[in-house]
Chains A and B, each alone.
Chain A
């Protein structure tokens, strides 16, 4: 805690220097002479100064428009920084006054030539307009005369008819030396705001209110100045690095006029739930069952057990509907989707909720934000981009996603598993609901091997996959024919021959996948001198620790809890005996986060190996990183130890 306070203090010491130092068009010789970044000498570019002003202006043509004014000055240190000399602005573009427009784009590149500052203007031929689709245009500009050492500077305004304020980014993938922010809003527009709590950089802001001369409303002025913001740096095993960016998020809460509230936006989870329940594309959809009344009646009368009924309804929707690849939370037309047998995630899953309700089950939708979207930080409808169904049965909540062809009740595809969702109740109530599976997915291997004295191995492997592991298996398997999958296995395990291969329950989704394979390996173990050295897990050995870095900032996301159990029976060649074998090991992570067990024991014909590796918690916080890394280290080291056979 103490270090955190100190860090924040370092970042956010306020400077008395006013921003006049960074007047547009006036770049200093010192800035141009700087030859490397003080924070990290290998960095390609650095934002020397950024100023952002958001305010409302009255324009002649379009009336009141919200202006987002940007001024950025960037130092290019070396060639890796050249891509910062090109900037792409994405503009929402419909027609007429509903479009966003760029105004006043100006830019200069500054270079030193024999101690003299040379200034080059961004000209028309460096600006490119593209129509991306019927909704978006882009304006891209690239600065002239950019070399190592150049300073570039540009300013522009984006005028928008909308009053939503985009997230203000305090952090880039390069350092920012100083950032001045000013957001001026009318008090008729009420915004809530929040910093990204997943970032450890929380800028300080100040607020004042002033009267807008000549108008009957006040203005709220938010300002903030930050200095020396470190860059955002990618780490492996992080889903989406921008989830951790320092930013200020605005959400429009309500619009007032002369004391009356014209329009209210969500400010609490209650509001969010109320809004969405009243939406004709959400709440109303789950009460419409005309389109499939007949099916509902048939399903309802075919079974009385509630759990079976849930499964029947779920199977019906899953098997009928094809997912079109789109996410979302609003369903435009469930009836049409039902007729065409295809639709988006909300069309499929709200249909599922509607049918589950219609057959008399206690079903409700759950709002989710997927991994690539990030977690909603404030009560907001916009933060969600996915919806699933939840059935309450015997006091338990069962989650269902019928957009997944290999799903079953209680099993979600990985795309839908991201922390927690919001269970939307009919009466306007809500509940946060954990999306991570509470029980393990298992991949259990039973392997029996016969070792021959010519170095070859004959073996039979039987693997069970359950839950998420089974789902993943089915998804992979469907890309291949059976013959092709044999080739996949051969390459994966370095088999020389597959004598027999079979997979059970590919279609029977409720049951675990059972894969059996009989195989031969030509050269399966080392004979050195008079001894045979064997890796007891053979081709199932984990040779490398995936956690290699010395430190970690962000949580480790395993996706779901899992268990990997291996039982191996090895028959050794005649004339040999086990002369040494690894000692047993049993280790566990703190807080029951995971465990590893490894045991080798002699048998009359050779030896047995038993190994169980479990991760019990899908998400492990970053401060446990060293424990995880060391846990994997010990596992890898143990699995590398050899069994030694010697001649009798």
Chain B
């Protein structure tokens, strides 16, 4: 052990040798290629982790960052998070000017200390110590360091040598020394193409990354996680708030979580049990029973957010939720599971990373901490798993589009953990279909009856309108059809079919002036209600691949009756564009002498695409935006 430590110090000495401390604080020594696209440059970041015992983790950190311009101020991040279980021993910061001269020093007592509570949360015991330095000139350099220690070894600090967009890194070191009786799970992501050296021995690993160029932010980019190098580590055996946990495999890890964190949280009173049994007694199948219970939970609980100690990972007792009728995601999921258990329906507590972005739990790196932020409930159902969001009192049974869909998640069963993939919504399932009858008048205005049906991700948007607490929903439509000036909504009728997970709209509108007058002619845009204006931004040189996370389908048919005394003069040509990104079809036909029929079909496919194809996707969207604004012409028949 001692010898190994010595080796590590020698190794470090050699690596640091070439790096004069003075140069570190001078902005002029930053290599030109690291300034490209960068608002700030990490000159040196050192993370040193020491885990001598299963219940002792020492973390020392030092980071020198040079901020090049105003946009880089947010990258300074001279802050350290802690809670009751973490003690911050050493803490300080030094600010240097462009030439490397010290301009300000901060001691531990100079740091602000505030609760790190988000607005929605009732309680979190997390706190943060931070400084906020106001620069008077650029570039400037901030050296920041701390040492902290904790008994919890369940979560080992990650390494991201490239931290975010528009930050480059000159050098970043990550070193871990651990009790060699423990085994370490290590997961290296995206190291390829970056200058990263490593040296791995028993009980000791070191990684050194050098000269990582800044990445420019681009629209539709893949998640940062998929682009930048990162290093994840976990101990096979760790201490979590006094529990001895295991992370040998997902099975093993899940088993531990079930045994220590979940198993004894599900008791309910006999009274409640009887009530629940009574509720489902008419129901035959498991799914029908589950629906009744889900409905019961939705009608009898509400969501609040509490983050505290073990509570951060362990749910409130089901019996407490039963009494208080509120809880956070863990509590409400656990409660729903407890109720389902009473009526013999199998279900599993499931941890995942919830986000509109599709973020998966790693299949081959075992540790739930840092990989998950939310809990839902899984009801096994053959190939068609059911997933229940228990924190929302309104969402239909099994609907997860937009926030927890299409990703790998950790399902925790009594037999252990397993990685499953949540439901993928195909483009056809994310539909918005509409029909409209539009009658134009001689002044260029119109009356219309518009009907639509929406499902999947498209359901969410309409569902929000349906559920909004403003009586007057016309405001929403006025914003949505913002180009229909002086729009009056004569009728708004929304229906939410929770069983089929579909919202339907029946809307009647009038617009006093729509057609554009040009002498004796009128120009009319037949796409009255479904204009796509989205065109992704243009880049002179696209650097990153791009992602379309979810596909969808729009299908529209509008019939337009022209005013009396007018005749159709010209119709735009039909269009059909087929690309690998999607399909667009548009046609305008004469249905009767005084009626035209407009049909439009748009389907976008989900997918990952290389950067070379970005411009053709952009061109596809531009063509759609343009076609959606095309007009036909009528004139006064003489």
Contacts and interface: CB of A to CB of B under 8 A. Distances in A.
Interface of A: 40-44, 78-80, 82, 85-86, 120, 123, 125-126, 128, 130-134, 140, 142, 144-148, 322, 324-325, 340-342, 478-479, 483, 486-487, 490-491, 494, 523, 526, 528-529, 531, 533, 543-545, 548-549, 579-580, 633, 636-637, 640-644
Interface in B469-499: 469-471, 475, 478-479, 482-483, 485-487
Given A340-B136, A491-B538, A140 B302 contact: no
A528 B516 contact: no
Interface stretch (B204-212, B263-271, B282-290, B318-326): B318-326
Interface in B569-586: 569-570, 572
B412 interface: no
Contacts of B479: 548
B632 interface: yes
Contacts of A633: 485-486
B523 interface: yes
29 contacts: A42-B468, A42-B469, A44-B469, A79-B394, A85-B302, A125-B324, A126-B324, A128-B123, A131-B115, A132-B115, A133-B114, A142-B304, A146-B302, A146-B325, A147-B299, A478-B70, A479-B71, A487-B537, A526-B630, A528-B631, A533-B523, A533-B631, A580-B521, A637-B485, A641-B517, A642-B516, A642-B517, A642-B523, A644-B518
The 4 closest A-B pairs by CB, nearest first: A580-B519, A529-B570, A80-B469, A128-B123
A123 B113 CA distance: 30
B377 to A, nearest CB: 20
B556 to A, nearest CB: 21
Given A342-B134, A523-B626, A545 B486 contact: yes
Contacts of B393: 79, 82
Contacts of A120: 323
Contacts of B323: 120, 144-145
B300 A86 contact: no
B200 interface: no
B490 to A, nearest CB: 13
Interface of B: 70-71, 112-115, 117, 122-123, 134-136, 299-300, 302, 304, 306, 320, 323-326, 393-394, 467-471, 475, 478-479, 482-483, 485-487, 513, 516-521, 523, 535, 537-540, 569-570, 572, 622, 626, 630-633
Given A548-B478, A637-B485, 4 more contacts: A128-B306, A133-B114, A140-B122, A642-B523
A536 B136 CA distance: 48
Contacts of A641: 516-518
Contacts of A549: 475, 478
Nearest to A643: B518
A640 B523 CA distance: 10
B492 to A, nearest CB: 12
A536 to B, nearest CB: 11
A41 B519 contact: no
A533 B539 contact: no
B538 A490 contact: yes
A406 B138 CA distance: 17
A42 B470 contact: yes
Nearest to A583: B517
A533 B325 contact: no
Given A147-B300, A342-B136, A487-B540, A133 B113 contact: yes
A643 B517 CA distance: 9
A642 B302 contact: no
B145 to A, nearest CB: 23
A41 B483 CA distance: 30
A132 B570 CA distance: 68
B482 A544 contact: yes
Contacts of A44: 469
A487 B218 CA distance: 12
A610 to B, nearest CB: 19
B540 A324 contact: no
Nearest to B326: A142
A315 B622 CA distance: 47
A491 B302 contact: no
A142 B517 contact: no
Given A42-B470, A140-B123, A633-B485, A145 B633 contact: no
A526 B325 contact: no
Nearest to B298: A79
Contacts of A643: 518
Given A134-B113, A533-B523, A548 B487 contact: yes
B191 to A, nearest CB: 30
A486 B541 CA distance: 13
Contact of A82 (B302, B467, B632): B302
A483 B122 contact: no
Nearest to B469: A80
Contacts of B485: 544-545, 633, 636-637
Contact of B122 (A128, A340, A544): A128
Contacts of A134: 113
B467 A41 contact: no
A322 B518 contact: no
Given A43-B469, A133-B115, A531 B537 contact: no
Contacts of B136: 322, 340-342
Contacts of B113: 133-134
A636 B484 CA distance: 11
A80 B467 contact: yes
B537 A491 contact: yes
A148 B486 CA distance: 37
Contacts of B468: 42
Contact of B483 (A40, A526, A543, A644): A543
A491 B486 CA distance: 28
A528 B122 contact: no
The residue among A85, A325, A526 with the most chain B CB atoms within 10 A of its own CB is: A526
Nearest to A496: B538
Contacts of B622: 494
B2 to A, nearest CB: 43
A86 B122 contact: yes
A483 B324 CA distance: 58
A636 B486 CA distance: 10
